[in-house]
């Protein structure tokens, strides 16, 4: 009796495992983060003993290397892998076509589309011979995937050569997809009883009542995936520039400096994955030098104008790598570039900040610096440093030696103070 109960529970456990389907969502550009996430989801499905893996996909395309990593993970696993282009309104463009062609089953939600797989270069200037080599390689790749999964190889080749696309209904007629499903549950209902042969083994799916186990990106993966966005990366670098300018304009506050450092670190994370042109990044950062020099040795705004121009040129070059060829499976190379409207907006804000800070610096220099006159009385500023030799404060764009008034508590770095008197070369201040 005990043995019978053990056998029954083991069988029930196997059946329960067979009625589990792992669902992973592939959203946005295909990048190394997405590739690692999909590979981990497939591995998790194997460890769970799942019946199949469903990749719900909505992508404009992505990096060729990342796409191939996903395809390899799909073809190596013994589990059936189903690509579901959904929800309604989603697309499987460019790299998404190759991933779909590697799937054992392709399903599409109504009002979705697939196609436009013509490869492009991130540098945007492939030569004719080089472009033909890349296209030939992509065509051969999609044909090999089509032969393995029984899909329409000719249409796949046309998607690469001519960037053709198809709706969900057209894809079904063209034998690019296998079925149309409203949602993942409808998909599993239609898959129930379907036999899939993979790696020489035939598997009949039992998915009608299967439990869907969703595997999401971890929080660190979500953060990095968000950072792998040219618009976000560009904004991080711009904020870092603004923060440095703020820190140089009012040293001692430290908050802008900290913000700038954090933004630079996050930008470095983005740059480790995105195709960054470091010449553009250097130009953007060097625009700070133009501003600083103009503050120290006023040139009537000429250097500031040069800094703004340098910033704009660096912005336009930031996502155009100088390498001769870096292939992508993207029909829209602008996916990997900051939008022009964003560059224009940030450049305008940067110019306004430069001009405002320059005007404040010039105004501070024009203020009467004569000690003993009432020009500095009532002026406010921040304590820039405190050490054994004394304290300094940034007041009206200049660094002054200060000491606290009688009965005032000790000065601390960052304190807001007001000038109440002058003694020789030292300003007497009180806390505000």
**pLDDT recorded at residue 15:** 43
**pLDDT recorded at residue 255:** 84
**C-beta of residue 80 within 8 angstroms of C-beta of residue 105:** yes
Angle of helix 230-249 relative to helix 219-227, nearest 10 degrees, comes to: 80
Residue 364 has pLDDT above 60, yes or no: no
Q: What is the mean pLDDT of residues 179-201?
A: 96
Of 213 and 368, more confident: 213
- Chain centre distance of CA 141: 28
198, two tokens: 């993979």
Decide: pTM greater than 0.85.
no
d(CA 374, CA 422): 9
338-352 CB burial, b ≥16 within 10 A, e <16:
beeebbeebbeebbe
3-state secondary structure (DSSP) of residue 367: coil
Computed on alpha carbons and rounded to an integer, the radius of gyration of the chain in Å comes to 31
3-state secondary structure (DSSP) of residue 89: coil
d(CA 423, CA 13): 87
Nearest to 121 by CA among 323, 338, 343: 323
List residues bridging with 213 in a β-sheet: 22
The DSSP-derived string for 49-60 is T-SEEEEEEEBS
Tens of pLDDT, residues 263-276: 999 999 888 877 78
**C-beta of residue 33 within 8 angstroms of C-beta of residue 76:** no
Q: What is the mean pLDDT of residues 292-310?
A: 78
d(CA 224, CA 226): 5
Tens of pLDDT, residues 366-424: 554 544 445 688 889 999 999 887 899 988 878 888 999 988 899 999 999 999 988 87
- Chain centre distance of CA 129: 32
Q: Tell me the domains of the chain and their CATH numbers.
A: 2-216 (3.90.226.10), 229-366 (no CATH), 380-431 (2.40.50.140)
**pLDDT recorded at residue 195:** 96
Residue 361 has pLDDT above 90, yes or no: no
Q: Count of alpha carbons within 13 Å of 396, Cβ hemisphere only?
A: 17
* Residue 152 neighbours by CB distance under 10 Å: 18
**C-beta of residue 73 within 8 angstroms of C-beta of residue 159:** no
**pLDDT recorded at residue 331:** 39
Instruction: Tell me what percent of the residues of the chain surpass a pLDDT of 90.
Output: 51
List residues bridging with 385 in a β-sheet: 392
Tens of pLDDT, residues 107-123: 999 999 999 888 766 55
| φ/ψ of residue 210, rounded to 5 | -70, 145
């Amino acid at each position: 009796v005990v043995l019978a109960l053990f056998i029954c529970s083991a069988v029930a456990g196997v059946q329960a495992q067979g009625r589990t389907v792992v669902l992973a969502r592939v959203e946005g550009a295909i990048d190394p983060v997405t590739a690692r996430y999909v590979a981990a989801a497939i591995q998790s499905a194997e460890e769970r003993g799942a019946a199949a893996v469903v990749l719900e996909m909505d992508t404009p395309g992505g990096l060729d290397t990342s796409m191939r990593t996903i395809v390899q993970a799909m073809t190596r696993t013994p589990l059936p892998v189903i690509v579901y282009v959904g929800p309604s309104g989603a697309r499987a463009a460019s790299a998404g076509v190759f991933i779909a062609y590697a799937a054992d089953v392709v399903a599409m939600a109504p009002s979705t589309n697939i196609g436009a797989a013509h490869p492009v270069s991130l540098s945007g200037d492939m030569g004719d011979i080089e472009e033909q080599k890349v296209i030939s390689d992509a065509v051969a790749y999609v044909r090999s995937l089509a032969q393995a999964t029984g899909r329409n190889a000719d249409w796949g080749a046309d998607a690469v050569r001519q960037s053709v696309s198809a709706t969900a209904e057209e894809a079904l007629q063209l034998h690019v997809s296998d079925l149309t499903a409203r949602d993942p549950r409808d998909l599993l209902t239609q898959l129930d009883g379907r036999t899939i042969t993979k790696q020489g083994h035939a598997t009949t799916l039992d998915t009608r009542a299967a439990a869907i186990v969703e595997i999401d990106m971890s929080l660190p993966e979500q953060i990095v995936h968000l950072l792998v966005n040219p618009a976000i990366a560009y904004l991080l670098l711009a904020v870092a520039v603004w923060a440095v300018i703020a820190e140089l304009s009012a040293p001692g506050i430290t908050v802008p400096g900290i913000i700038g450092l954090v933004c630079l670190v996050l930008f470095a994370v983005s740059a480790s994955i995105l195709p960054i042109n470091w010449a553009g990044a250097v130009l953007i950062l060097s625009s700070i030098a133009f501003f600083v020099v103009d503050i120290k040795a006023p040139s009537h705004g000429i250097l500031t104008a040069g800094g703004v121009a340098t910033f704009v040129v660096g912005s336009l070059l930031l996502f155009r790598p100088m390498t001769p060829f870096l292939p992508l499976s993207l029909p829209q190379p602008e996916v990997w570039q900051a939008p022009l409207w964003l560059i224009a907006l940030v450049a305008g804000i940067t110019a306004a900040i430069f001009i405002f800070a320059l005007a404040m610096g010039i105004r501070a220099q024009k203020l009467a610096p004569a000690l003993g006159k009432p020009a500095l009385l009532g002026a406010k500023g921040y304590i820039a440093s405190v050490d054994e030799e004394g304290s300094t404060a940034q007041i009206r764009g200049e660094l002054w030696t200060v000491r606290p008034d009688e009965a005032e508590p000790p000065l601390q770095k960052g304190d807001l103070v007001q000038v109440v008197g002058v003694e020789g070369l030292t300003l007497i201040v009180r806390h505000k």
